[in-house]
Structure 1
């Protein structure tokens, strides 16, 4: 009686199309029993419209219509929409995989008991139609997730750039950045900018000590933002042993921009792959770079009297001053330079008499650090420029 393959299923599918509204509403009721399909996310009307469109194409395909391309496009769009709506993938796939059982049961209601063997022979026809739908829904969902991830990365990069490079005070920017970057707006943070000279060592050290940290890139440098509250002694020590420019602690998201800029400048001062550049040890270089011509002009003026001092004597005086500024101790300076303490005192005194800057006076000591930071060894020729 049914010589053409699939002819029985085609006839039943055509019958189902006449009752498509009732069948679609029945589908909605069954989907509502699945977890993940909340009324607040997708209402019944939307579920009905999606179910009716899907079922019309599935029944049409089984009935012999050339709907493969339409079904694929519809199913792909459905998967993408459910991804945007936040429906969990497992819930979506349970609903889609339910289609075969639902189609089978829906079509069975139009089959007499005597016709069941013939109907059962055409299970593959129904399965093939559902398989096209399932694969396309899944593919659309995954493609949309990838698009959403790219959008999030773009949004993250955009907000990071604005947050870190913006100098104007913008509370709305801080709130938006904190939400997108998952940061506590009032939290405390450290910014660690990697040294370009030791980029590989920086990445390896951060991934080892802070496996959950995100390494971002901005303005040609790599950096990470670390919550200060998460730092124990061991992790803090690991950070100080990383080739990075390490900022002071930012009090809140609004200070991250200033800290990032400071850490970026400090990163250029890293000299070893196992030591961070920090403000307490490198403030003089940082300040000197920012004062630039002003401090260079002052350095020429302050160090000019040393131009009349013989080269070797001048070098010994500066060496003693630099070592003393490191320790603040005459004894430790003499030990480091293998000199008698009176020799060290004499060299410091001669430097003080020539320049008017006394290394043993804290107020002058800071100025001397700035002056020597920009001299770059050129003092030996009598010029600080």
Structure 2
């Protein structure tokens, strides 16, 4: 230390200030009376006005989501609860006020970030007011209560956040119920009128004529689909789910389905059936088609519109058109080896639609493939190179 520093006069202690006392961040018993005196000097109206001046600079509170009267009422109640908590340690009233602030902001559509910003303003207003009413002799007392004030406001913030989340979940459930009620009109026993479909689209805030993805699942596959929806709030907010005929169905705009990362679990899942419909008016027919596809055998394999032959075959069995499915009698003339080679060749041809592609896939000569298809025609009377006749085989072997 320099000689000048040694010779410099030391700052005189303020009246009543103990220069030898160590600094502390914890209130002391002897602080109690003066602390209560400072709290009693706070003016609720001034606190509320200061809060309103500061909150006016927050963008989300400038659009009228929350009226100034509601902000003033909430500010008065919040500061009253905070002061009472710091005065008497009573928490029930403050918890109720905070929870109600959280729920009301969720209903108003205020973001969680804006809610927390407002609570940080509460702290700034409260602390600045305490500093304003304190004297120089209260400096260390304020220091010892800084953490106490912050923890009190932090408890308030936690309860407000709990109320906010609870209300958001309730609103989400209510929205889902309202959605299902409207969607039930689209899938009711009678097809809805076009004008009513347009009204439902507007109420659901969904495009009327854009394509949609529709998923249907039954049994254990429905349970898996339901678990995926239940466990992810973000996912639930992007889709509309409903029940029909004992099945769970999920509807999503195709653009949302293709692009949103939150829907990846559903895209990658193999549960149930998935089809695309051209617009909201097709939900009526699409629900029934997807539901029938979901009932087809093949759990663990996602059924699609390409499985239509299975549905049509089921409709033909037991009707006067069932003979369309009868092609096995002619094939019974073949020996096991010949039948296997003919059937395999016909199936691959039906998959590829090309003699050349089918012969390449089976590693045989084009002429060999042609001979096998001709042999199939001789045995069954069906020429699979003719589309309308090939359809009989597709249905019979579905």
Q: CA deviation at 1:70?
A: 0.9
Q: Which segment drifts farther, 47-56 or 5-14? A: 5-14
Kindly indicate whether residue 38 of structure 2 is the aligned counterpart of residue 9 of structure 1.
no
Kindly indicate whether residue 135 of structure 2 is the aligned counterpart of residue 100 of structure 1.
no
SS in 2 for 1:87: coil
Distance 2:155 2:177 in 1: 33
With over 3 angstroms needed to count, the CA separation of the structure-2 counterparts of 1:155 and 1:311, relative to structure 1, is same
Q: TM-score, normalised by structure 2?
A: 0.63
Match of 1:251 in 2: 278
Match of 2:263 in 1: none
The answer to whether the Cα contact below 8 Å between 2:324 and 2:392 also exists between their aligned partners in 1 is no
With over 3 angstroms needed to count, the CA separation of the structure-2 counterparts of 1:360 and 1:310, relative to structure 1, is closer
Distance 1:117 1:241 in 2: 62
* Aligned equivalent of 2:312, options 267, 276, 287: 287
Partner deviation per Cα, 1:223-261 (whole Å, 9 max, x = no partner):
6746279879xxxxxx999787453x4221221342343
SS in 1 for 2:61: coil
Distance 2:33 2:151 in 1: 15
SS in 1 for 2:157: helix
Q: CA deviation at 1:154?
A: 4.6
* Aligned equivalent of 1:348, options 368, 377, 387: 377
Match of 1:90 in 2: 113
Distance 1:109 1:86 in 2: 35
Q: CA deviation at 1:45?
A: 1.0
Q: Which segment drifts farther, 311-320 or 261-270? A: 311-320
Q: CA deviation at 1:341?
A: 5.3
SS in 2 for 1:147: helix
Q: Which segment drifts farther, 125-134 or 320-329? A: 320-329
Root-mean-square deviation (Å): 5.1
* Aligned equivalent of 1:312, options 333, 336, 344: 333
Kindly indicate whether residue 85 of structure 2 is the aligned counterpart of residue 61 of structure 1.
yes
Match of 2:264 in 1: none
Equivalent positions of 1:109-258 (< 5 A) are 109-114=132-137, 118=141, 121-123=144-146, 126-155=149-178, 163=186, 167-170=190-193, 171-172=195-196, 175-176=199-200, 180=204, 183-191=206-214, 218=243, 219-220=246-247, 225=252, 227=254, 245-247=273-275, 249-258=276-285
Q: Which segment drifts farther, 187-196 or 81-90? A: 187-196
Match of 2:293 in 1: 266
Q: TM-score, normalised by structure 1?
A: 0.65
Equivalent positions of 1:28-43 (< 5 A) are 28-43=52-67
With over 3 angstroms needed to count, the CA separation of the structure-2 counterparts of 1:71 and 1:344, relative to structure 1, is closer
Q: CA deviation at 1:72?
A: 1.0
Distance 2:210 2:391 in 1: 32
Distance 1:92 1:160 in 2: 34
